[in-house]
Amino acid sequence: MNKPLRRIAIFCGLLVLALLLRANWLQYVKAEDLATRKENRRVQIAQYASERGNIIVGDKAITGSAVTDGSDYKYKRTYIDGPMWAPVTGFASQAFGSTQLEALEDGILTGNDDRLFFDRTIGMFTGEKKQGGNVVTTLNRAAQVAAYKGLGDNKGAVAAIDPRTGAILALVSTPSYDPSSFAGNSKKDEKAWVALKDSPDKALVNRALRETYPPGSTFKVVTAAAALEHGVVSDINAPTDTPEPYILPGTRTPMVNHASGCEKASLNDALKVSCNSVFANMGDKVTRDKMVETAEKFGFNNGKIDTPVRAYASVYDKTMSRDGNAQSSIGQFNTAATPLQMAMVAAAVANDGKLMKPYMVDQLTAPGLDVLEQTEPEEMSRPLSAENAQKVQEMMVNVVENGTGRNAAIDGVTVGGKTGTAQHGEKNKKRPYAWFISYAKTDKGSPVAVAVVVEDAGAVSREDISGGGLAAPIAKAVMQAVLKSQG
């Protein structure tokens, strides 16, 4: 072979080698990246080519699938009582993606999870259509209905937990939205999405997990726990050294009380009528760093509370001054909490000081209902001893039986609670938030702890906004629903 031909042959060989290397690079190294690119419509078409698995409450699905007309995406998601369950399910939209359980458990719901490989393989031989698995939640249907109806047209949220396990029993946020309204990819879906996205009501925000509020006087339960745990108080019925007026440390500013009889009031009496001065004094005596320590054991400053949907971190400031700590000890200043966080506070007290990690997925199952994954309850922390938890329980029961929480009382059941009216806005000019946290206890233990926040009570005047008046009846309805459903 002469020299020019040999050069051409070598050049052609190099071209073939380059093509082989490129083909192998695309097929094996870059395959996953290319398959999951947003621009790859074949992946999206395949994703909606079969019916999606369901999210289940009790023994009934709260989701479904329907054939899409005039689209190359065959199936779209449907929802039963969508607005009520949206804070649990999130949404799955052909045009706008997915959120919450729909996003986090997408592999199971679409049938693409590696744990469903055997089911997919068998289907290839039997000719059965590909099916998604199911997500079985911990939610209690009756409790969810009670919470949703209780909030009604008000802006707000409810979170309810089983203190014994951490299982989430109710998760409601209002105003809500219907995920079915934009599950497709038509102009109608786009219009519904834009209206929701731009709405001043923030209906797409899950207020139970993703909105933080000043917790107001409900935080006094944490301050009481800190005072007991750090030895500032041992006898909850003994007088404290709180003067009237109580001057915030390092300032000339008196702490305002909205109740009478707060001078030297005991911790028990102070919680019953919600004395700001006593708990500001207790927070100062505990000190900022030890208040932070106790708050963090309850879950504050923890940015990784996954239910599996991640909740926003609740905050107790680590760097504030003494007077800031005193104000934060009554749930004001820089203190901020999600409704889930305050339900965790009530749950830890009800469970004799043991805080269980909150979760809302009980099982992941295959299409044939074989269990792929089972969630086991997990202890998260011990914010207070059993002895001190029982003292706080005594105080919270006193609030319901003799104090500001009477609207949560249930005949024949021990109920502990704490009201809160949280000021906010510049110079506290905005309507306050109405809070209530509580738990119910029977001879079988405590099956439910609840946190309710009413963010906007519609036409109710500022003077009529209170945790006992607005939020406590909702908490009562949720607790009654759980008690009734568990016999």
Active-site residue, 217 included:
yes
Amino acid at 217: S
- pTM for the complete prediction? 0.89
In terms of DSSP bridges, do strands 246-247 and 433-442 run parallel, antiparallel, or are they unpaired? unpaired
Decide if pLDDT at 384 tops 70: yes
Q: How far apart are CA 209 and CA 86, in angstroms?
A: 12
Per-residue pLDDT band at 33 (split at 50, 70, 90): low
Cis status of the peptide bond prior to 377, with omega within 30 of 0: no
**In angstroms, rounded to a whole number, what is the distance separating the alpha carbons of residues 387 and 379?**
18
Grouping H, G, I as helix, E, B as strand and the rest as coil, residue 78 is: strand
d(CA 381, CA 393): 18
Of 66-75, 98-107, 179-188, 217-226, where does mean pLDDT reach its minimum? 66-75
Backbone angles phi, psi at 441, to 5 degrees: -135, 135
Catalytic entry in 93, 173, 176, 217: 217
Distance CA 436, CA 469 (A): 9
Confidence (pLDDT) at 463: 38
Give the pLDDT of residue 170. 98
Give the separation between CA 353 and CA 388, rounded to whole angstroms: 8
Query: Once rounded to an integer, what is the mean pLDDT over residues 141-161?
Result: 97
Q: Structural domains in the chain? A: 209-361+376-485 (3.40.710.10)
Q: Is the pLDDT of residue 6 over 80?
A: no
**pLDDT grade, residue 369 (50/70/90)?**
confident
pLDDT at 448: 98
- The helix (H) or strand (E) run that includes residue 88 is helix 82-89
pLDDT band at residue 427 under the 50/70/90 scheme:
very low
More confident residue, 353 or 5: 353
- pLDDT of 19 strictly over 90: no
pLDDT of residue 425: 44
Sheet-wide strand order for 168-174: 168-174, 155-161, 445-456, 433-442, 414-422
Q: Quickly tell me which residue has 């207070």 as its tokens.
A: 384
Identity of the residue numbered 33: D
Backbone angles phi, psi at 415, to 5 degrees: -125, 130
Structure tokens at 211: 């909105």
21, 280, 478 from 432: Cα distances, Å: 66, 19, 23
pLDDT at 74 over 90: no
pLDDT (0 to 100) of residue 118: 58
The residue that leads in pLDDT, 18 or 91, is 91
Q: What is the pLDDT of residue 461?
A: 41
Task: Give 169's DSSP letter.
Answer: E
Distance CA 348, CA 382 (A): 8
Band of pLDDT at residue 267, cut at 50, 70 and 90: very high
Q: Cα dist. 203→169, 173, 198, 213 in Å?
A: 21, 8, 9, 16
Count helices and strands (H / E) in the chain: 18, 20
CA distance 86 to 45: 25
Residue corresponding to tokens 């909490």: 337
DSSP 338: -
Question: In this predicted model, which residue has the larger pLDDT, 222 or 24?
Answer: 222
Work out the mean pLDDT of the chain and round it to a whole number: 90
pLDDT digits (tens, 9 = 90+) for 217-253: 999 999 999 999 999 999 999 999 999 999 999 999 9
pLDDT of residue 116: 73
The whole-angstrom separation of Cα 455 and Cα 202 is 12
Q: Cα(430)–Cα(215) distance, rounded to whole angstroms?
A: 15
The pLDDT score that the predictor gives to residue 40 is 63
What is the chain's alpha carbon radius of gyration, rounded to the nearest angstrom?
A: 27
CB 455 within 8 A of CB 207: yes
Confidence of residue 112 (pLDDT cuts 50, 70, 90): confident
